[in-house]
């Protein structure tokens, strides 16, 4: 049944993500063309010509728009995931979702996997867009110096840092949607103000998580305030804390939607 | 005899409001049961609990001897009193979805009914009128070879001609080995198809009887008895 649910959830979400990602891909491609034009104009016309100044100003504006679009992509990814979950799980469409012959845990797994997939797609497209922009100019970037500097200042191998970063991003990709799902699942207990309930649940869970996180950091001694602080230790701690909270959010969502479902 | 549906001391509380109070009832196979009561009497709550959309505060519900869960949901065909289909979908996509999830869904029967009503499977739900969307929902529900059909106000809010069509669709398409629990307050329209009736008042069952017994015992039609019991 999970496969069928994934198909259903993919269908209901791709119509949001395809235009968003398609738009970003076009914006990145135009950015690359503009970037190359700016470089060639600067090389041939010099820095002070009116043409180069005009192109530079236009490029800066375009860059600002691209950055806003990039931030919007991240924000809209969460917005679409939340919207789809709310609509199909606790509003009128939930009447169909919850009468399908599947377990609540399978419903949540499907929603989570689809949300993770879209986050990975968004991250990949954005990363590829940066690669595209700098293609042909990598030799001019101080990549080697950066890795050398990084290793010496943080006392951590850049490869290990990369692995930890990928794992943390992966855990966060599960954690973020499951936090939203847990909040919506709690919010549906309210009869009339479900969205407000979900927002209050979000605030409450965020505060509680921060408090627990702070206490745990102090107790485990991974804070940068301590002399024996290491980045690898902190990243390992983040990973473990992320996994624990992710499991917690999943259990809350499952409990609230299976034992306390309230589709009034 | 096996029971298709059994409620045992079911109570449902919404805050301080008691929507259902210690409800116990059974539905046996091959029966069409009318769940009758005025607005706010708890009919929808009763059906939602069996469908798994609400969790009872206390008591238990079993469907074909199974607790409410994926197994029971595969045996129930539920028609809610609202539009529960995503309006961006095409009719054919919804049929595919039902076919994917419900093993007892008869795709050919659904397409036949659509054709009879001149509804194009290629149309998106948002382009359909409210009445046509309700008919699509009814077609989906009645195209399942289910053990139990839970129909919540299927004739509420439609004109008399449409009511006849809906009742006819229900009667000609349901699995006769199964049962139908149909909630309504339009008694006179459904009375002729019912085998049994349940009167629900303020979340309490006040009467559970066969239609024949009512006529014999009270010498009244169900509609007349309903008007008497629920007189304002």
How would you class B126 by CB atoms within 10 Å of its CB: exposed for 0-12, middle for 13-18, buried for 19 or more?
exposed
pLDDT band at B27 (very low <50, low <70, confident <90, very high): very high
Q: Could you give the CA distance from residue B111 to residue B103 in angstroms, rounded to a whole number?
A: 16
Q: Is the pLDDT score of A31 beyond 60? A: yes
Element (H, E) at B132: helix B130-142
Q: Is the pLDDT score of B13 beyond 60? A: yes
Q: Could you give the CA distance from residue B37 to residue B46 in angstroms, rounded to a whole number?
A: 12
Mean pLDDT, rounded, for A218-240: 79
A193 interfacial to chain B (CB closer than 8 Å): no
Task: Determine whether the interchain pair A1/B52 forms a contact, defined as Cβ–Cβ distance below 8 Å.
Answer: no
Task: Determine whether the interchain pair B73/A259 forms a contact, defined as Cβ–Cβ distance below 8 Å.
Answer: no
CA B146 from centre of chain: 12
Q: Could you give the CA distance from residue B105 to residue B99 in angstroms, rounded to a whole number?
A: 6
B85 interfacial to chain A (CB closer than 8 Å): yes
User: Helices in chain A by DSSP H: which ranges?
Assistant: 2-45, 50-85, 94-97, 104-134, 143-154, 158-187, 194-220, 231-259
Contacts of B128 (CB under 8 A, 6+ apart): B91, B119, B136
Q: Is the pLDDT score of A47 beyond 70? A: no
Per the CB < 8 A criterion, the answer to whether B227 and B215 are in contact is no
B201 forms bridges with which residues in the sheet?
B204
**Nearest residue, CB atoms, A95 vs list B15, B55, B80:** B80
Q: Could you give the CA distance from residue A92 to residue A90 in angstroms, rounded to a whole number?
A: 7
Q: What's the token pair of residue A136?
A: 């042909």
Q: Could you give the CA distance from residue B37 to residue B203 in angstroms, rounded to a whole number?
A: 9
Backbone angles phi, psi at B153, to 5 degrees: 50, 55
Q: Could you give the CA distance from residue B82 to residue A122 in angstroms, rounded to a whole number?
A: 36
Task: Determine whether the interchain pair A95/B54 forms a contact, defined as Cβ–Cβ distance below 8 Å.
Answer: no
How many beta-carbon pairs below 8 A join chains A and B? Answer: 65
pLDDT band at A156 (very low <50, low <70, confident <90, very high): confident
Tell me the C-alpha to C-alpha distance, in Å, between residue B184 and each of A47, A198, B152, B153, B191.
80, 34, 7, 5, 10
pLDDT band at B226 (very low <50, low <70, confident <90, very high): confident
B208 forms bridges with which residues in the sheet?
B198
Could you report the per-residue pLDDT of A76-90, keeping only the tens digit for each?
Answer: 999 999 999 999 999
Task: Determine whether the interchain pair A96/B102 forms a contact, defined as Cβ–Cβ distance below 8 Å.
Answer: no
CA B47 from centre of chain: 7
Mean pLDDT, rounded, for B131-159: 87
Per the CB < 8 A criterion, the answer to whether B225 and B206 are in contact is no
**Nearest residue, CB atoms, B101 vs list A4, A93, A94:** A4
CA A179 from centre of chain: 12
Within 8 A of B53 by CB-CB distance, chain A residues are 94-95, 98-99, 261, 263
CB atoms under 10 Å from CB of B60, counted, come to 13
pLDDT band at A246 (very low <50, low <70, confident <90, very high): very high
Q: What's the token pair of residue A262?
A: 């309230």
What's the mean pLDDT when you consider all of chain B?
Answer: 89
**Residue B123, pLDDT score:** 93
Task: Determine whether the interchain pair B101/A15 forms a contact, defined as Cβ–Cβ distance below 8 Å.
Answer: no
- The residue among A80 and A225 whose pLDDT is bigger is A80
A264 interfacial to chain B (CB closer than 8 Å): yes
Task: Determine whether the interchain pair A259/B55 forms a contact, defined as Cβ–Cβ distance below 8 Å.
Answer: yes
Residue with tokens 């049944």: A1
Q: Could you give the CA distance from residue B225 to residue B229 in angstroms, rounded to a whole number?
A: 6
Could you report the per-residue pLDDT of B77-132, keeping only the tens digit for each?
Answer: 999 988 899 989 999 999 999 999 999 999 999 999 899 888 899 999 999 988 88
**Residue A45, pLDDT score:** 57
Per the CB < 8 A criterion, the answer to whether A69 and A23 are in contact is yes
Task: Determine whether the interchain pair B70/A262 forms a contact, defined as Cβ–Cβ distance below 8 Å.
Answer: no
Per the CB < 8 A criterion, the answer to whether A101 and A4 are in contact is no
Q: What's the token pair of residue A219?
A: 């107790």
Could you report the per-residue pLDDT of A198-221, keeping only the tens digit for each?
Answer: 999 999 999 999 999 989 888 887
Could you report the per-residue pLDDT of A180-203, keeping only the tens digit for each?
Answer: 999 999 999 887 888 999 999 999
Torsion of CA A147, A149, A150, A152, to 10 degrees: 120
CA atoms A13, A16, A18, A24: torsion sign:
negative
Candidates B82, B93, B101, B144, partner chain A, best to mutate (most A CBs within 10 A): B101
CB atoms under 10 Å from CB of A153, counted, come to 9
Nearest to A142 by CA among A152, A154, A134: A134
A1 interfacial to chain B (CB closer than 8 Å): yes
Could you report the per-residue pLDDT of B176-220, keeping only the tens digit for each?
Answer: 888 999 998 888 888 888 999 999 999 999 999 898 888 888 888
B60 forms bridges with which residues in the sheet?
B8
């Amino acid at each position: 049944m999970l496969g069928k649910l994934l198909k259903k959830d993919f269908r209901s979400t791709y119509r949001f993500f395809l235009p968003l990602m398609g738009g970003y891909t076009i914006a990145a491609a135009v950015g690359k063309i503009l970037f190359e034009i700016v470089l060639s104009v600067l090389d041939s016309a010099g820095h002070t010509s009116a043409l180069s100044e005009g192109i530079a100003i236009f490029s800066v504006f375009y860059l600002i728009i691209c950055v806003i679009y990039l931030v919007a992509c991240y924000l809209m990814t969460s917005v679409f995931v939340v919207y789809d979950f709310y609509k199909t799980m606790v509003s009128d469409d939930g009447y169909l979702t919850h009468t399908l012959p599947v377990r609540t845990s399978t419903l949540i797994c499907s929603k989570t996997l689809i949300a993770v997939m879209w986050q990975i797609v968004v991250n990949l497209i954005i990363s590829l867009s940066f690669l595209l922009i700098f293609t042909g100019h990598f030799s001019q970037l101080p990549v080697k110096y950066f890795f050398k500097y990084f290793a010496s200042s943080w006392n951590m191998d850049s490869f290990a840092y990369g692995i930890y970063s990928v794992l943390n991003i992966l855990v966060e990709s599960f954690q973020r949607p499951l936090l939203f799902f847990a909040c919506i699942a709690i919010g549906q207990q309210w009869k009339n103000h479900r969205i407000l309930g979900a927002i209050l649940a979000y605030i409450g869970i965020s505060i509680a998580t921060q408090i627990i996180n702070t206490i745990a950091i102090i107790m485990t001694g991974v804070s940068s305030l301590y002399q024996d602080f290491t980045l690898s230790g902190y990243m390992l701690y983040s990973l473990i804390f992320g996994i624990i909270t992710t499991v917690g959010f999943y259990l809350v969502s499952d409990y609230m939607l299976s034992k306390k479902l309230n589709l009034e | 005899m096996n029971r298709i549906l059994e409620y045992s001391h079911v109570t449902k509380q919404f805050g301080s409001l008691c929507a259902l109070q210690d409800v116990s009832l059974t539905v046996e196979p091959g029966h069409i049961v009318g769940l009758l009561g005025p607005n706010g009497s708890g009919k929808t709550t009763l059906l939602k609990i069996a469908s798994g959309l609400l969790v009872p505060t206390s008591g238990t519900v079993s469907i074909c001897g199974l607790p409410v869960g994926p197994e029971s949901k595969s045996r129930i065909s539920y028609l809610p009193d609202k539009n529960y289909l995503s309006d961006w979908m095409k009719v054919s996509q919804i049929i595919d979805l039902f076919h994917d999830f419900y093993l007892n869904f008869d795709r050919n029967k659904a397409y036949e009914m659509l054709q009879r009503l001149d509804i194009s499977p290629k149309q998106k739900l948002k382009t359909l009128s409210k009445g046509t969307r309700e008919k699509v929902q009814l077609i989906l529900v009645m195209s399942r070879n289910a053990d139990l059909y839970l129909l919540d106000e299927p004739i509420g809010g439609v004109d008399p001609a449409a009511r006849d069509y809906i009742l006819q669709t229900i009667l000609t398409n349901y699995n006769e080995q199964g049962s139908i629990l149909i909630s309504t307050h339009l008694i006179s329209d459904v009375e002729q198809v019912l085998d049994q009736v349940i009167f629900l008042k303020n979340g309490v069952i006040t009467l559970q009887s066969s239609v024949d017994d009512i006529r014999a015992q009270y010498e009244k039609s169900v509609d007349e008895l309903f008007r008497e019991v629920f007189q304002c």
